[in-house]
Amino acid sequence: MKKIFILDDNEELLEILTRLLSKEFDVFASSDTDNIILQITSFNPDILVLDHSIGEINSADIIHRLKLQHAGFAKPVVLFSAHAQLPQIASAVGADGYIDKPSDIAYIRNYIRKVLAV
């Protein structure tokens, strides 16, 4: 079963995504950015789904720290945000794609499948 790590500061959204995606994937959802790199690397996901801005940290910080601390980290990263400039941000941070908020759960599931080539 493919593993998805989801980071978002919206607890209700995390609960919904976890419940719906866990039927097909092993899901680890977090709203906590403390020790985020350790959280990600310990779970060893097949894909990261990151909100662009979580408190004082953003997706660019996380991606940069991951690559700096774990040079071999090469998992796909998908940004999941309501930010108006999401396509440009995704490109600038080196994400493999993006999903606009709000999005239908079927769209989210299919997008993740496509990125994972499942």
Ramachandran class of 55: left when φ > 0, alpha when ψ lies in -120 to 50, beta otherwise: left
What is the count of structural domains for the chain?
1
Whether 98 is covered by a domain: the verdict is: no
Look at the block and give the residue holding tokens 């499948």: 113
23 within a domain of the structure (yes/no): no
pTM of the predicted structure, to 2 decimals: 0.93
Please spell the DSSP secondary structure of 50-68, one letter per residue: E-SEETTEEHHHHHHHHHH
Asked if residue 58 is part of any domain, the answer here is yes
Amino acid letter for position 110:
N
Could you tell me the residue range of the domain that residue 61 belongs to?
1-9+28-44+52-91
Report the alpha-carbon distance of residue 81 to residue 79 in Å, rounded: 6
Q: What is the pLDDT of residues 8-51, one digit of tens each?
A: 999 999 999 999 999 999 999 999 999 999 999 999 999 999 99
Does the pLDDT at position 110 exceed 70? yes
Please report the pLDDT score of residue 69 as a whole number.
82
Give CA–CA dist 63/101, Å, rounded: 20
Q: Would residue 62 count as lying in a domain?
A: yes
Residue 104 is encoded by which pair of tokens? 């239908």
Give me 13's structure tokens. Answer: 């959204």
Closest CA to 101 of 53, 60, 45, 37: 53
Within a domain: 22: no
Asked if residue 114 is part of any domain, the answer here is no
In a domain, residue 15? The reply is no
Residue 104 makes CB contacts below 8 A (sequence gap 6+) with none
Domain-located, residue 61: yes
Q: How confident is the model at residue 2 (pLDDT cuts 50, 70, 90)?
A: very high
